[in-house]
Amino acid sequence: MANYLVTGGAGFIGSHIVEALLREGHSVRVFDNFSTGTQANIHFVRQALIAEGVDCSQTLDIFEGDIRSYHLVQDAVAGIDYVIHQAALPSVPRSVRDPLTSNDVNVSGTLNVLYAAKEAGVTRLVNASSSSVYGNAPTLPKVESMQPQPRSPYAVSKLSAEKYCQVFFEMYDLETVSLRYFNVFGPRQDPNSHYSAVIPRFIRSALKGDPLTVHGDGLQSRDFTYVANVVQANLLACTAPGAGGAVVNASCGGRYTLLDVISAIQNLSDTQVQVVHFPSRVGDVKDSQADIAAAERFLGYKPVIGFEEGFKRTFAWYQTEL
């Protein structure tokens, strides 16, 4: 068993990764400043493991800190074998309003994590990137060999972090893998933030009887990816032979519109939901879909849960929690 550091481990995706690692018997250190991650997510992890008879009292360590503080990151990586770097300031609209902070966290913060990992002799670092780096190019599906065309400060920051990862692999021999996430959804995703993702926001509104807000015509499409798939991609990326330096898509390779999501909500809730349309947002991408052949080749990755089943699980979770 190995020692893992999960930056942003109290967040939506990070907490699912932490849960999977603990279930496999690894020791996990969570590094989070709890700006977007929550203690509630850690509580959910502990409760889920207790219900399965897994004792994580000696294998889960919570380290509160900000990745922009190098000395704290340096302390966090001590004795660590693998770093799974999820900490970031998410959201395209947030980055449009405040590009300086997005850059500070997502670029400078990632550089801190990379340098500390290199100095500590970490075996491999897996970096959470984003499909937003592809921009609005009409070509589908998105293949890693395409020229990136970032259209927002957030996308630029994620592309910059990828490049830093590759530089550290090439110059410092720190093995890195960057995973380009495509619209991840699932339990524990915060529906209450102004910057929350569309699926939890839609489900919350439907369960409360509120109208669903759609920016644009609703025909914009996404490769919606249930969280268990990106968890699997991260775990595979830590140990896959010969994957050092790789940048690969992590998704399901499908495509669904916002109107498809609304239809799925109506079917599961057995109610007619009201939809209100607003103008499209600056920086938003019209269509997105991944080619996952590289992930299959480099990582041995295959999606484990499709959109329909993932959506059912997510909707059921919010029905209970909300």
Catalytic residues: 154
- Start-to-end Cα distance in the chain: 37
Distance, in Å, from the CA atom of 237 to the CA atom of 117, rounded to the nearest integer, reads 16
Distance, in Å, from the CA atom of 114 to the CA atom of 172, rounded to the nearest integer, reads 10
Dihedral, 73, 78, 82, 85 alpha carbons, nearest 10: -10
Helix (H/G/I), strand (E/B), else coil: 67: coil
Distance, in Å, from the CA atom of 58 to the CA atom of 40, rounded to the nearest integer, reads 19
Kind plus residue range of the DSSP H or E element containing 248: strand 246-250
Kind plus residue range of the DSSP H or E element containing 129: strand 124-130
* Cβ contacts of 70 within 8 Å, gap of 6 or more: 112, 115, 116
Distance, in Å, from the CA atom of 120 to the CA atom of 321, rounded to the nearest integer, reads 40
Please state whether 8 falls in left (phi above 0), alpha (psi between -120 and 50) or beta: left
